[in-house]
């Protein structure tokens, strides 16, 4: 029998893939706890323990809101994708998909849908806990717009980097063992867990190469009063630079993805 | 039947047609001038020791690997240039299986079906592979044999013209293997061409219309299972018990010899057995000659 009927459209297969990716994520208890709840636990734990005043009436939970959302975005995109795609490559899932008539674009659309859903869920839960438990002030007016584009650009850069990094690991366990400490270190030196001006100068310079610092800084512009911009390295939020650096990392990430992505395990070629 | 002569043109009507296939890893040619034609509608079993080039050949046909030389057509298309439409006519059951998933058996099948133009109904496929009871179960809760049947279900849900089965029954108990054989036979009745690689010679003998033996990157011989390695005409060994001792005779005319024996004994010939070389015997001889 010949296939006289048309193959399903990219849009239709992409919808199927998005459904598959959402089920794969939300049904796996480890990934939900690790990715979705870890930032919440951080917020509850550090928010309850650390109780100092940063000036201008800003307490630690208000400051930490920006950092923990940055950590949540990195977890939902970079860490999540690097670990799970490495797993799908080592257990043959990717190879099976590559041998099917699924348009390859649909696979990546599915992953993006997963990142969007997990990112929105993480941010939603963090904001809810922040308001209900710590009484943090939500952004107002134009800050929401900044919130939206910083999140979008940061998540896009980290999604592309996550897909690229997955190719370096042998399997999901080695991906986790590599990516998790790197993400934590970047978060530490990027002012996620403590005020950025308390990070030593040379570490600030190191952090400034990577996207996490700029993502956190852009989010601080959203959650902190403008009076605190004076404590940033440049004395301002540098939103233009945030956009340029995150945009550059998107381009770098895309290039790395195209150059490194493999549908089969190493050694099987 | 001998392998196709070198230089013969590709067979346009064959499901798979291969001429002079070469694949090197570094300096080593894993596949070294292999010729093969697989007809539409047949079950073809590819046998050979590990490292002989079996999986490499099959994965070149599936479009997973590039080749370094020769010509290959799978359903009339060069696999190195096969697009979505070509892939929609193939079913692939990989040695590694389909991987872990949080999805249920039915969800996995429905997702796989959605990549194809004219898929089979998911429930119909579940019935065919005997997983109807497990439709709602997650992949990870299945036993080894059930997982393999799920792999086959995923391979056939797209209604393939040509199905690749790479060591489909490794790790099966004898009963599961017999059930699987029945499944393959029912697929043949639906007109599916199958390329089977296996280490189990009884499986090849049971299922295949023709078998091919790969040794050192070339096709040593292609034949129907009962004729491989001159099996059909090889001397038979007749054995029986006489005067308290076991007697054996090798003969090219076992029927006539047994008739003579029957005349010498009043009733049954005690412990009479006539044995032809098994597929395993001729296979081991063939790969022994070559490696």
Domains of chain B, by residue range, sit at 235-275
User: What are B224-265's pLDDT values in tens digits?
Assistant: 988 887 777 788 889 999 888 999 988 888 899 999 988 888
Tokens for A249? 């990392």
- Region B112-130: what's the mean pLDDT? 92
Mean pLDDT taken over chain B: 88
Residue B245: Cβ within 10 Å count:
7
Partner-chain contact B107 A23, CB within 8 Å: yes
Rounded Cα gap, residues B126 and B142, in angstroms: 14
pLDDT for the residue B98: 66
| Closest residue in B to A7 (Cα–Cα) | B117
Q: How many CB atoms lie within 10 A of CB B260?
A: 10
Q: What is the pLDDT of residue B213?
A: 92
Nearest to B99 among A16, A88, A101 (CB): A88
Mutation for testing the A interface, residue in B60, B111, B122, B161 having most A CBs under 10 Å: B111
B291 has pLDDT over 50 = no
Work out how many CB contacts closer than 8 A connect A with B: 93
CA dihedral defined by B225, B226, B230, B232, rounded to 10 degrees?
A: -170
**Contact (Cβ atoms closer than 8 angstroms) between residue B216 and residue B32:** yes
CB-based contacts of A83: which residues, under 8 Å, 6+ apart? A166, A172, A175, A176, A179
For an interface test with A, the pick among B83, B84, B86 (most A C-beta atoms closer than 10 Å) comes out as: B84
Q: What is the mean pLDDT of residues B15-41?
A: 94
Nearest Cα to Cα of residue B111 among A110, A19, A92: A19
Q: A96 and B154 in contact by Cβ < 8 A?
A: yes
- Name the strand (E) or helix (H) holding B20: strand B16-25
For residue B289, name the pLDDT band (cuts at 50, 70, 90).
low
For residue A81, count other CB atoms closer than 10 A to its CB. 25
Q: How far apart are CA A189 and CA A172, in angstroms?
A: 26
pLDDT tens, position by position, B182-217 = 889 988 988 899 999 988 888 998 999 999 999 888
Contact between A101 and B97 using a beta-carbon 8 Å cutoff: no
Which of B193, B221, B218, B220 lies closest to B207 in space, CA to CA?
B193
Cβ separation of A7 and B117 shorter than 8 Å? yes
Q: Which helix (H) or strand (E) holds B147?
A: helix B144-156
- Say if B100 is an interface residue toward chain A (CB within 8 Å): yes
pLDDT, tens digit only, all 269 positions of chain A: 444 578 999 999 999 999 999 999 999 888 898 899 999 999 999 888 887 777 777 888 898 999 999 999 999 999 999 999 999 999 889 999 999 999 999 999 999 999 999 999 999 999 999 999 999 999 988 999 999 999 999 999 999 999 999 988 888 888 888 899 999 999 999 989 888 888 899 999 999 999 999 999 999 999 998 888 888 888 889 999 999 999 999 999 999 999 999 998 865 44
Domain spans in chain A, listed from the N-terminal domain onward: 10-260
Residue A33 CA neighbour count, 13 Å, CB half: 3
Q: Is B260 helix (H, G, I), strand (E, B) or coil?
A: helix
Rounded Cα distance between B194 and A99, Å, is 16
Q: How far apart are the first and last CA of chain B?
A: 22
**In chain A, which among 6-45 make CB contacts under 8 A with chain B?**
6-8, 12-13, 16-17, 19-20, 23-24, 27-28
Q: Which residue of A has its CA nearest to B65?
A: A269
């Amino acid at each position: 029998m010949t296939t006289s009927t048309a193959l399903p459209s990219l849009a239709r297969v992409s919808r199927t893939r998005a459904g598959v990716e959402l089920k794969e994520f939300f049904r796996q208890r480890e990934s939900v706890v690790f990715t979705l709840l870890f930032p919440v636990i951080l917020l509850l734990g550090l928010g309850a323990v650390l109780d100092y005043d940063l000036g201008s009436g800003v307490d630690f939970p208000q400051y930490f809101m920006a950092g923990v959302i940055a950590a949540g975005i990195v977890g939902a995109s970079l860490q999540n994708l690097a670990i799970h795609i490495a797993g799908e490559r080592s257990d043959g899932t990717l190879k099976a998909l590559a041998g099917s008539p699924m348009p390859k674009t649909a696979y990546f659309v599915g992953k993006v849908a997963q990142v969007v859903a997990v990112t929105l869920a993480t941010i939603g839960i963090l904001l809810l806990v922040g308001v209900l438990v710590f009484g943090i002030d939500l952004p107002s007016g134009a800050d929401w717009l900044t919130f939206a584009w910083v999140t979008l650009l940061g998540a896009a850069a980290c999604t592309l980097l996550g897909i690229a990094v997955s190719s370096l690991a042998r399997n999901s366990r080695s991906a986790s063992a590599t990516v998790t400490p790197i993400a934590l270190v970047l978060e530490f030196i990027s002012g996620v867990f403590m005020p950025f001006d308390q990070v030593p100068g040379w570490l600030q310079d190191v952090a400034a190469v990577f996207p996490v610092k700029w993502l956190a800084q852009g989010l601080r512009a959203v959650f902190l009063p403008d009076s605190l911009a004076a404590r940033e390295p440049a004395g301002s939020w540098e939103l233009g630079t945030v956009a340029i650096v995150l945009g550059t990392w998107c381009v770098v990430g895309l290039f790395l993805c195209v150059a490194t992505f493999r549908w089969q395990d190493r050694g099987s070629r | 039947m001998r392998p196709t002569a070198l230089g013969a043109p590709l067979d346009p009507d064959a499901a798979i047609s291969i001429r002079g296939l070469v694949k090197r890893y570094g300096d080593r040619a894993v596949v070294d001038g292999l010729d093969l034609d697989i007809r539409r509608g047949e079950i073809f079993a590819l046998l050979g020791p590990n490292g002989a080039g079996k999986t490499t050949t099959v994965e070149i046909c599936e479009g997973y690997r590039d080749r370094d030389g020769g010509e290959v057509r799978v359903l009339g298309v060069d696999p190195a240039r096969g697009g979505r439409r070509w892939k929609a006519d193939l079913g692939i059951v990989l040695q590694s299986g389909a991987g872990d998933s949080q999805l249920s058996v039915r969800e996995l099948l429905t997702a796989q079906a959605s990549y194809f133009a004219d898929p089979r109904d998911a429930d119909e496929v579940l019935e065919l592979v005997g997983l109807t009871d497990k439709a709602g179960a997650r992949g990870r809760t299945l036993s080894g044999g059930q997982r393999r049947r799920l792999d086959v279900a995923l391979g056939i849900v797209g209604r393939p013209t040509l199905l690749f089965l790479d060591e489909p029954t490794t790790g099966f108990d004898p009963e599961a293997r017999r059930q699987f054989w029945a499944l393959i036979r029912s697929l043949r009745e639906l007109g599916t061409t199958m390329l089977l690689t296996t280490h189990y010679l009884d499986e090849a003998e049971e299922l295949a219309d023709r078998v091919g033996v790969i040794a050192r990157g070339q096709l040593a011989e292609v034949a129907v299972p009962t004729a491989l390695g001159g099996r059909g005409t090889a001397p038979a060994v007749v054995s029986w018990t006489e005067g308290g001792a076991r007697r054996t005779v090798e003969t090219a005319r076992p029927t006539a010899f047994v008739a003579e024996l029957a005349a010498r004994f009043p009733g049954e010939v005690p412990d009479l057995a006539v044995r032809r070389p098994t597929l395993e015997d001729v296979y081991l001889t063939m790969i022994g000659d070559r490696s």
